[in-house]
Chain A
Amino acid sequence: MTFADTISSARAENRTLLSEVEAKAALGDAGVPVTATSLAQTREEAAAQAEAMGYPVALKVVSPNVAHKSDVGGVVLGLESHEEVAEAYDEIIRSVQAAQPSATIEGVSVQEMASPGVEVIVGVTTDPQFGPVMMFGLGGIMVEVLGDVAFRLAPLGEGDARDMIDEIQGRQVLDGVRGQPPVDLGAIEAMLDRVSVFAAEHPEVAELDLNPVIASPEGAIAVDARIVLAEA
């Protein structure tokens, strides 16, 4: 399914929020590293997909109505076996139905777990005057409380991605603190560049969050993805 098809089907269903599976597929096609993610619609499918992917895996509910998956018990992380995956599948369906009975549940996504690293956020928003704008920041408390983020117009030019990284107050965290190794800045730059091209080429994308992206010495990979389409 191409991104154009995804947009058409979302439009046909009168929704602007793409599922995580849809968002990751589109970004993956655009060359943005995302954790392997597949949609399972039964506990058996989930277990089989996890076997194929390799452990550990994470399971997350897929629903067009659920905005914050963990708030409704829709996320289980660190599953290590076939049995754990099957049980977690049932548990997610049960909790989401209990917490939000009106939600349409399309299934559960089975996802590769990223290796540990520094959480960062990469995003896109649309400025009414200037068009698509890229955002970069450190994840977690730095972005939530301090709003420690940098913005640039998309697409990014030569050196812009690095300037964004260097602009944030918590920049030093990426060089490694408390004995942590420095993360691969080039991988973050490449991700920012690719997402910015994706945003510039798809004006239908009003907003995009890759939150978190796990940055480590080995690279940068988006663990969660959200795309909001502009109103048709």
Chain B
Amino acid sequence: MSVPGHPLDRMFNPKTVAIIGDKGPNYMWLRNNQPFKDRGGNLYSVQIDEKEIPGIEELGVENFRALTDIPEPVDYALVAVPRHVSPYVMKDLIEAEVGGAAFFTSGFAETGEELGVSLQAQLTEMAREANFNVVGPNCMGLYLPRAGVRFNPDVPVADDGRVGFVSQSGTHSIMFSLVMGANGMHLSRCASFGNAIVLDISDYLEYLTEDPETEVIAMYVEGVKDGPRFVKALRAATARKPVVVWKGGQTDAGARATMSHTGSLASPHAVWQGIMRQCGAISTNSLDETVDAVKVLLDAKPSTGKRMALMAMTGGQSVSITDAFVGQGFEVGRLSEQSYEELSSFFNIIGGSFQNPLDMAGTVQGKRETLERILGILDADESVDALVMEQSAMFGARQWKDHPERVEDLVDTLASHIERSAKPFLMVMHPAHEEAFVAEVRLKFAERRIPVFASFERAAAAAARALPQGTRS
């Protein structure tokens, strides 16, 4: 799937990729992009250094001494040459009519030194004049999980990516992709755009808005060069799909010279937050908040209601889950009389409670029918807008290790409930003392699209940000 006719479509859907200037002993970029070759893409190397060529060919990649020698149209090129060589490469890229190129090469304006600034100006002028698509420089370029184009050897190759990510930081683009993968969520397309000399955040945002594979857009941004254009692109994007904006550099710099009260109060952070709300975007401040918000958007059904039914395994957790959700502006009120009537017919109130929150370990005791019954009652209750259930690894891990089928059974119970119910369902699974085990188990939930959060606070914050815009139907 692609966006036919869009100027960025070729580079975002490449059939042929060239890696320019990759070097041994690791050949980082050629190795990152092996999956592209494995998936049937034409992967080529461009390298003039005779010493490097045998290593490249050993990887099964055909090398050319000049980009213009490659016998077919190149859709995307990754450039990793020394900075002083970059203008020569740019000339070839333009001549070969490559669909777009990312410059991993750095040492440009970000250094603040004269040579870097002038080289960047030279690249910018060449590319602009030729209307050539440049990603970066000083960036990690594109990550296209379905195509197998990657910027890191550990980010997943996947066909089910639904989240587009755009990032001013290369590190954050990799970290986001990895953490998303560890949570069972995949990207549709990702661009790390660095110095953005030609293509800027709004260009990528516009593409992802049109891209049918991208259901949710997230981005990491420190600052924008063209504010009005960004606002226009962001508004157009939020009209089509949810957009999460993670803003870096939120600490306000020194006070601005101002003669008005309004000016003195207008910190860049406060103004940014206002603009994001006005544009209908979801604001986040960190990687985890961004991943959590995306998780709600992808896997929760939408709800603007604030009335939560909270389910915990024990008394202490019942108090804590309530604190977390009330703290985020949710209501944890009484259930309907009918619900109480039904619950009272089987709920074990010795060491448990069914007021709301429900303290229910003693009642459920691992019995699928009982959990289903409780979920059904809460689902039918008209005074409940959304359900949140706690299942801590504190007790769970031991049982699940001894009886793996119980995990499958719980996953199936919850997934079936979600399919039947129109209300959002979130799960909180604190890893307790079992970080590694929970990381594995969590993926089983994610496979069936059960959104799992590591703490009450994270679940509540993500719900407050994103529940109204949940995309699951």
Residue pair B227, A125 in contact (C-beta under 8 Å): no
Residue pair B260, A151 in contact (C-beta under 8 Å): no
A228: which B residues are within 8 A, CB to CB? 259-260, 263
| Minimum Cβ distance to chain A for residue B117 (Å) | 21
CB of A197 closer than 8 Å to a CB of B: no
Residue pair B227, A127 in contact (C-beta under 8 Å): yes
Give the residues from 255 to 285 in chain B that come closer than 8 angstroms, CB to CB, to chain A. Answer: 258-263, 265-268, 270-271, 273-275, 277-278
Since A133-B275, A135-B262 are in contact, a sample of 16 more A-B pairs with Cβ atoms closer than 8 Å, ordered by chain A residue number, is: A121-B262, A123-B261, A123-B263, A127-B227, A127-B271, A133-B266, A135-B265, A143-B261, A147-B267, A149-B270, A151-B270, A151-B273, A151-B274, A152-B278, A153-B278, A207-B258
Report the nearest A residue to B225, measured CB to CB.
A129
Residue pair A147, B277 in contact (C-beta under 8 Å): no
| Minimum Cβ distance to chain A for residue B413 (Å) | 39
If A133-B266, A149-B265, A151-B270 touch, whether A207 touches B227 (CB-CB below 8 Å) is: no
Interface core residue of B227, B261, B262, B263 (most chain A CB under 10 Å) = B262
CB of A211 closer than 8 Å to a CB of B: yes
Residue pair B259, A17 in contact (C-beta under 8 Å): yes
Interface core residue of A124, A131, A135, A167 (most chain B CB under 10 Å) = A135
| Minimum Cβ distance to chain A for residue B363 (Å) | 40
CB of A208 closer than 8 Å to a CB of B: yes
CB of B182 closer than 8 Å to a CB of A: no
Could you list some 16 contacts between A and B, CB below 8 A?
A: A16-B259, A123-B260, A123-B261, A125-B263, A127-B266, A127-B268, A131-B227, A135-B266, A151-B271, A152-B278, A153-B274, A157-B278, A163-B278, A164-B274, A207-B260, A208-B260
Taken together as a complex, chains A and B put the C-alpha atoms of A131 and B231 apart, in Å, by 11
Taken together as a complex, chains A and B put the C-alpha atoms of A150 and B275 apart, in Å, by 10
Report the nearest B residue to A135, measured CB to CB.
B262
CB of A117 closer than 8 Å to a CB of B: no
Contact pick for B274, options A121, A150, A209, CB 8 Å: A150
Report the nearest B residue to A124, measured CB to CB.
B262
CB of A91 closer than 8 Å to a CB of B: no
If A147-B270, A151-B270 touch, whether A130 touches B275 (CB-CB below 8 Å) is: yes
The digit string for A107-140, where 1 denotes a CB below 8 A from any CB of B, is: 0000000000000010111010111010101000
Report the nearest A residue to B266, measured CB to CB.
A125
Interface core residue of A149, A160, A208, A211 (most chain B CB under 10 Å) = A149
Give the residues from 235 to 268 in chain B that come closer than 8 angstroms, CB to CB, to chain A. Answer: 258-263, 265-268
Contact pick for B228, options A67, A125, A131, CB 8 Å: A131
CB of B224 closer than 8 Å to a CB of A: yes
Contact pick for A211, options B258, B261, B271, CB 8 Å: B261
Taken together as a complex, chains A and B put the C-alpha atoms of A164 and B278 apart, in Å, by 9
- Give the number of residues in A that approach B within 8 Å (Cβ atoms): 32
Taken together as a complex, chains A and B put the C-alpha atoms of A124 and B259 apart, in Å, by 12
Give A residues with C-beta under 8 Å from B.
Answer: 16-17, 67, 121, 123-125, 127, 129-131, 133, 135, 137, 143, 147, 149-153, 157, 160, 163-164, 167, 207-209, 211, 226, 228
Residue pair B261, A130 in contact (C-beta under 8 Å): no
| Minimum Cβ distance to chain A for residue B205 (Å) | 16
Residue pair B227, A129 in contact (C-beta under 8 Å): yes
Residue pair B275, A209 in contact (C-beta under 8 Å): no
CB of B404 closer than 8 Å to a CB of A: no
If A129-B227, A130-B228, A130-B231 touch, whether A207 touches B262 (CB-CB below 8 Å) is: yes
| Minimum Cβ distance to chain A for residue B248 (Å) | 15
CB of B223 closer than 8 Å to a CB of A: yes
| Minimum Cβ distance to chain B for residue A127 (Å) | 5
If A130-B228, A151-B270 touch, whether A125 touches B258 (CB-CB below 8 Å) is: yes
Contact pick for A67, options B259, B262, B266, CB 8 Å: B259
If A130-B227, A131-B228, A149-B265 touch, whether A209 touches B270 (CB-CB below 8 Å) is: no
| Minimum Cβ distance to chain B for residue A142 (Å) | 11
A164: which B residues are within 8 A, CB to CB? 274
B267: which A residues are within 8 A, CB to CB? 147
A137: which B residues are within 8 A, CB to CB? 265
Interface core residue of B266, B274, B277 (most chain A CB under 10 Å) = B274
The 4 closest A-B pairs by CB, nearest first: A123-B262, A151-B274, A129-B227, A207-B260
If A129-B223, A130-B227 touch, whether A208 touches B262 (CB-CB below 8 Å) is: yes
Report the nearest B residue to A122, measured CB to CB.
B262
Taken together as a complex, chains A and B put the C-alpha atoms of A143 and B231 apart, in Å, by 27
Taken together as a complex, chains A and B put the C-alpha atoms of A133 and B266 apart, in Å, by 9
